[in-house]
Each structure stands twice: as structure tokens, then as C-alpha cells.
Amino acid sequence: MSECIFCKIIAGEIPSQKLYEDNDVLAFWDISPQAPVHFLVIPKKHIAMPVDIEEDDDLLAGKMLRIGAKVARENGVADDYRVIFNNGSKSGQVVFHLHMHILGGKGKPWPM
């Protein structure tokens, strides 16, 4: 996906502040944070939206959640974070590469 900003980040064409990386996923700080701790976890495989996750992606989706929890713990919000996936432009999805927002350290109330 030559025009996908997250694919360009994965390829190293666009810099990011990486928090975690392996062969399957990448976690990095959000460039426009909405909470004291706000990072993204993305698969290296291009999947446009949550609705596009297929059965073959089950392990990858689970790994994203596990890595999100690990990085949250490493950044002091193990018991205080939200996990957000947006699916489609009407839900607020702007980048059409599956990504999971982890937001923490803000306390209640969270916007809905």
C-alpha cells in the first residue's frame, strides 16, 4: 500500500517514536496525543479496518492486544487505559490501516 502512512512508517520512510517492534506489529507514540499516554499498535500486515480482519488474522489481532498491554505497563498505565479501534470514516477512522489506540493516565471521565 504505497500511499498508506502507516505502511510508510513500517517501511521506515516516515519516522516515528517507536515503543515496540517485532516481525508482526509496531507500537509508537501518537503524534497528536489525546491523553498523557497515547500510543498506537499496528500490524505490519496491511489490513484496512477491523471489519477486514479475517480468521487467519486471529493470532495477529490477539498479539496486538497483548503488546498494547505490555507497552501500557511499561509506560505506567497498566490499570488505567482505554483501547480504541475505529472502523470506517463515520466512526472517526482517518488512516485506513488497522490500528489500536491505547490512551491512559487521564483518569475519569473519558469522552464517549
Provide the pLDDT for residue 63: 98
For residue 11, which phi and psi values (nearest 5 degrees)? -75, -10
| Cell digits of residue 83 | 483501547
pTM confidence score: 0.94
Provide the pLDDT for residue 106: 81
Give me the tens of pLDDT residue by residue for the chain, a chain 112 residues long: 679 999 999 999 999 999 999 999 999 999 999 999 999 999 999 999 999 999 999 999 999 999 999 999 999 999 889 999 999 999 999 999 999 999 999 876 666 5
The Cβ of residue 59 has, within 10 Å, a number of other Cβ atoms equal to 9
Provide the pLDDT for residue 112: 53
Bridge partners (DSSP) of residue 103 are 38, 82
Cβ(40)–Cβ(27) under 8 Å?
yes
Handedness of CA 88, 40, 60, 97 (dihedral sign): positive
* Strand 100-104 with 81-84, pairing: antiparallel
Determine which one of 38, 46, 97, 99 is catalytic: 99
Q: Is 38 a catalytic residue?
A: no
Cβ(44)–Cβ(6) under 8 Å?
no
List the CATH code of the domain at 5-104: 3.30.428.10
Provide the pLDDT for residue 2: 74
HSE of 87 in the Cβ direction (CA atoms, 13 Å)? 4
Cis preceding-peptide flag for 15 (omega within 30 of 0): no
Bridge partners (DSSP) of residue 29 are 39
